[in-house]
Structure 1
Amino acid sequence: MAREWRVAKWRPRRTTMLAFAMLAPSLLFLALFTYWPVLEVAWQALHNQRKIGGPQVYVGLDNFLKLFADSAFRKALANNLVYAFGTVVPSLVLALGFAMALAKSNRVNTLVRALFFLPVLIPLVAAASIFLFLFLPNVGLLDYHLAKLALSGPNWLGDPDVALYSIMGLTIWKNAGYYMLFFLAGLQAVPADAYEAAILDGAGPWQRLRYITLPYLKPTIGFVLVIGLLNVVTQVDHVFVLTKGGPSDSTNLLLFYVYQQAVESYDAGRAAAGTLVMLALLLAITASSLRTLERSFGEREA
């Protein structure tokens, strides 16, 4: 019995050691390229460099105080909130509409799905270059067709009241087809019996959407919402190409603000503080969305 106990005790240890040995390469790369850079950024946020190449001086929370006192940072934060709401919600609505319209598999729907997914394959920088041609004042493709209708469009990228919405249009065009794929997959999990029973009970299209489709798609919506919010905070290539944060900081987003502080102003401490604020926002968004996903799966299992 003692021998059997020793063997039984040894096997879990051997299994655990084997599991850690197989995970070691991934854990090593995760530590080197994820956690260590985060620690360096946190250290940088608490220090300041008086001159390039000079020593690092501990300043505590001074970089964070300067960050929140900076009107440009507050403007970038407000822009990001407007940009998030103005891109994620329309993208989700369009993606759901596309998925429901193209849920049935046939040749025509397959072709249309490919056309809707095509913007996803175009790099964001290339897509921004295309939209730059569309938005050129007076000679751009958009103004050209408006002139055919005897209409004059605004300065799409030069008007502070319009520029951010122009960038939103690019983002919606780029992401809606990508989110459509997730909704197409989610619609496959909706049982056909539920729709048939609803039709027999006299439920209309809106009632079927509200009481059958959307409840079954709650986990998918939560997952896509996480992806959309992460893209909003981490994608900034189109701002570089189209506006560079202008005019009058109307399109300045958080990530572009961090770039300005690090590269243009050489203020690494404030840039690091802004990065930590962004990281905190990402963690909060991810945690709340995952909690929503857990509740959705719990309700489905119940």
Structure 2
Amino acid sequence: MSLRIRPYLLLFPTLIFLASFTYLPVFRSIYDSLFDTRLAGQVHYVGWGNYLRLFHDPVFWQACLNNLLYILMTMIPSLLLALGLALALQANTRFNQWLRAAIFMPMVLPLVSVATLFLFVYLPSMGLLDYYLSQLFGWMNNNYLGMENSALISLAVIGIWKFTGYYMLFFLAGLQSIDNDIIAAARMEGANRWQIFWSVTLPLLRPTLNFVVIVAFIYAVTQIDHVAVMTQGGPNQSTNVLLYYITQLATQTNDYGKASAATFVLLIVMMVITVVNLRMMEKGTYYERK
């Protein structure tokens, strides 16, 4: 066997799966976005017509806004919490190991199960949240999932609770890769803890941070199980995010062309943001130990 051919043969099974489950669906989505399939048994070529209908749909723009708000409400708190927990649990003690496992545990649970659990937390008057709030402020009867100003926040809390421990592991790995000699040198120069974190630790964590931002962004866009279980996009489209909007188009109205157009637009946005983040990652701070 030629040495030049062998690497390609070893990669061939992976390339088959990658082509079958990634590239072919993408090209099929682009192709389907050019046809109107709303009439049963009839398919009409409409070119950019599905994209025009998509951009003129107010529900699509509402879903975009909801998704943006959801991304901000989940990514910023969860990344800050994850970094803080990683710094606090950096020491490799047995107690810290137990705490790391406990904080990571929500990531193991399926999002559908987590959503079902939080339904009992958010129950009006009888849920755990209203119960504990009533101990402080008197009787409560808040329908958190039924009010437009609180439904999306309630879903964001679930995302924070579930994924913070997962992001914490990446930050722990990044912190453990930092040479202790650099930290010791900064202390010898008289830097305090805040100065060490801001001027030494955080710059060296920049590649890790950029990677975690990409992962958190992808999860914030693609994880919609709790939306389907808890709110179905309501009330009044206040929790209808892009991927759930696409699912509704495909399953409820059989508008596969418009759903494919929305999928392609979402894919382009995710690719642009990912490429920008990767470029920033390449400019991260690196050091070489001599």
Please report the TM-score for the alignment, with normalisation by the length of structure 1: 0.91
Sequence identity, in percent?
45
Structure 1 window deviating more from structure 2 (197-206 vs 223-232): it is: 197-206
Q: Quick check: 1:96 aligned with 2:83?
A: yes
Amino acid at match of 1:87: T
Q: Is the 8 A contact 2:74 2:159 kept in 1?
A: yes
Q: Is the 8 A contact 2:121 2:128 kept in 1?
A: yes
Partner Cα separation in structure 2 for residue 203 and residue 153 of structure 1: 51
Partner Cα separation in structure 1 for residue 202 and residue 154 of structure 2: 30
Offset, 1:202: 2.5
Change (3 A) 1:270 1:145: same
- Counterpart of 1:293 (choices 270, 281, 290) is 281
Q: Is the 8 A contact 2:59 2:237 kept in 1?
A: yes
- Counterpart of 1:189 (choices 157, 166, 177) is 177
Amino acid at match of 2:92: S
Amino acid at match of 2:248: Q
Q: Structure 1: 5+ residue runs without aligned partners?
A: 1-10
Partner Cα separation in structure 1 for residue 92 and residue 218 of structure 2: 31
Offset, 1:194: 2.1
- Counterpart of 2:240 (choices 223, 247, 252) is 252
Partner Cα separation in structure 2 for residue 51 and residue 65 of structure 1: 18
Determine helix, strand or coil for the equivalent of 1:296: coil
Offset, 1:198: 2.2
Partner Cα separation in structure 1 for residue 141 and residue 217 of structure 2: 30
Q: Is the 8 A contact 2:38 2:255 kept in 1?
A: no
**Cα shift readout 1:141-199 (whole Å, capped 9, x = no counterpart):** 11011111134364211110111111111100101000000111110122222222222
Determine helix, strand or coil for the equivalent of 2:234: coil
Partner Cα separation in structure 2 for residue 24 and residue 190 of structure 1: 37
Offset, 1:70: 0.5
Q: Is the 8 A contact 1:66 1:270 kept in 2?
A: yes
Please show how residues 264-275 of structure 1 align to structure 2 within 5 Å.
Answer: 264-275=252-263
Partner of 1:115 in structure 2? 102
Provide the aligned length of Structure 1 versus Structure 2.
288
**Cα shift readout 1:49-106 (whole Å, capped 9, x = no counterpart):** 2422x13210010101110111100000011111111111111110000000000011
Q: Structure 2: 5+ residue runs without aligned partners?
A: none
Determine helix, strand or coil for the equivalent of 2:55: helix
Offset, 1:46: 0.3
Determine helix, strand or coil for the equivalent of 1:161: helix
Partner Cα separation in structure 2 for residue 154 and residue 126 of structure 1: 22
Partner of 2:3 in structure 1? 15
Partner of 1:235 in structure 2? 223
RMSD: 1.6
Q: Is the 8 A contact 1:84 1:229 kept in 2?
A: yes
Partner Cα separation in structure 2 for residue 83 and residue 153 of structure 1: 25
Partner Cα separation in structure 2 for residue 226 and residue 32 of structure 1: 24
Change (3 A) 1:162 1:272: same
Q: Quick check: 1:282 aligned with 2:270?
A: yes
Offset, 1:244: 0.7
Determine helix, strand or coil for the equivalent of 1:149: helix
Determine helix, strand or coil for the equivalent of 1:16: coil
Change (3 A) 1:153 1:195: farther
Q: Quick check: 1:75 aligned with 2:62?
A: yes
Determine helix, strand or coil for the equivalent of 2:149: coil
Q: Is the 8 A contact 2:207 2:281 kept in 1?
A: yes
Determine helix, strand or coil for the equivalent of 1:224: helix
